[in-house]
Amino acid sequence: MNAHTFSVLLAGGVGSRFWPVSRALRPKQLLDLFGEGPMLRRTFERVSDLAPPERTIVVTSGSLAPAVRALLPEVPPDRILAEPSGKNTAPAIAWAATVARRLDPDATLMVLPADHHIADVPAFRATLQRALAHAHDHLVTIGIVPTHPETGFGYIQRGAAHADGARFSFAFGGAGAYRVAAFAEKPDLATAARYLAGGEHLWNAGMFFMRADLYLAELARHRPALAAQITAADDVLAVWSELESISIDYAVMERSDRILVVPGSFGWSDVGSWRSLTDHARGPSYHHGDVIELDGRDNVLFAEHGLVATVGVSDLVVVHTADATLVCPRDAAQRTREIVQALERAGRKDLL
């Protein structure tokens, strides 16, 4: 839609929550958990008409860069930025912003995590376009309309409707853009329930839309040392180890007065654990691959290859890979991390 639009795909995650399918060199964003292709590839494809390969920038880690290049052969290799170490999102996006701005002084960034799932792609794209419509002079984030009282996410409380937003709301058939009243930390359950009932709180989904130069200017305003290190360097890699590790939320979004939030509702999931392969309603089990389930429900049954067979069990996660099987309660699926930690303590590199 706009020849200045760049996608910035954040693909540096090292998540251990999808063990045993995810491993150190095969983290979540490289996996095909939903049977529709690896999540990074899907993220690229969902927006590639807005940001073609030559306007796609991927930020990943050095160890994952070869796999990322293999997965996105269309993207010019110099658009794949390999971080020597994880520095959180503010430096990663700043590096991408300098690269984009060098290619196009009017570059506008769509910053998208590469490990999220989106069920309703048309609704997602409509929301994207609403967000982009404000990105010329604001830092825009998407706030997901909550579907349940989630305690695992940060929230964004929307404030007054933005004037331009009302116009675009009409044009795109949905709510427009809002000022941000407050950012809120992960709530307890009672607070999350109140947020859900109140209708003003949205999930912080980590998606950002803004001109590259505006982001760098706002970073320079609120985190001047960090911005100076990155923009002054001939080679960002040369100064990387000295950079502050800080999130864009903390460095810029929670401090800037140029923020807007665009509500969206498009079957979004951050795919935070095996639990998230099912929705939050009780119901039939989730099956991936070759599965036989007798007399069970509310299971997540995942056969990377081979067969998962269950009889008479419910509310479980069961994952089979060639060299490992994981079993844990569906509603405590984040405890997979404890297994990974035990493997790390035991030095079991063969399984990490």
Q: Which residues bind its own copies (CB under 8 A)?
A: 20, 292, 294-295, 303, 305-313, 316, 318, 320-329, 332, 335-336, 338-339, 342-343, 348, 351
Which amino acid, residue 211?
A: R
Least gap, CB of 329 to its own copies (angstroms): 5
Smallest separation, CB 39 to its own copies (Å): 23
Q: Hunting for tokens 């036989």 — which residue is that?
A: 292
Report the nearest approach of its own copies to the CB of residue 152 (Å). Answer: 17
In this complex, which beta carbon is closest to its own copies, that of residue 66 or of residue 329? Answer: 329
136: left (phi over 0), alpha (psi -120 to 50) or beta: alpha
Residue 5 or 310: the one with the smaller Cβ distance to its own copies is 310
Residue type, 258: R
* Nearest Cα to Cα of residue 274 among 310, 304, 294, 309: 304
Give CA–CA dist 335/326, Å, rounded: 11
Closer of 214 and 291 to its own copies (Cβ): 291
Cβ-based nearer residue to its own copies, 271 or 316: 316
26 vs 136 by CB, closer to its own copies: 26
Whether 215 and 97 have beta carbons less than 8 Å apart is answered as yes
Q: Which two tokens stand for residue 213?
A: 């130069």
Tell me how far apart the alpha carbons of residues 7 and 83 are, in angstroms, rounded to a whole number. Answer: 17
Which C-beta is closer to its own copies: that of 20 or that of 91? 20
* Minimal distance, residue 352 CB to its own copies, in Å: 11
Residue 35 CB, nearest approach to its own copies (Å): 19
Which DSSP helix (H) or strand (E) runs through 109? strand 108-113
The H or E element spanning position 268 is strand 268-269
- What the block records as the tokens of 186 is 């992960």
Residue 173 or 312 having the CB closest to its own copies: 312
Nearest distance from C-beta of residue 297 to its own copies, angstroms: 14
In the complex, what is the shortest distance from the CB of residue 334 to its own copies, in angstroms, rounded to a whole number? 10
User: Which residues partner with 263 through β-bridges?
Assistant: 143
CA distances (Å), origin 84, targets 62, 103, 158: 6, 23, 36
- Count Cβ atoms below 10 Å from residue 160 Cβ, excluding itself: 10
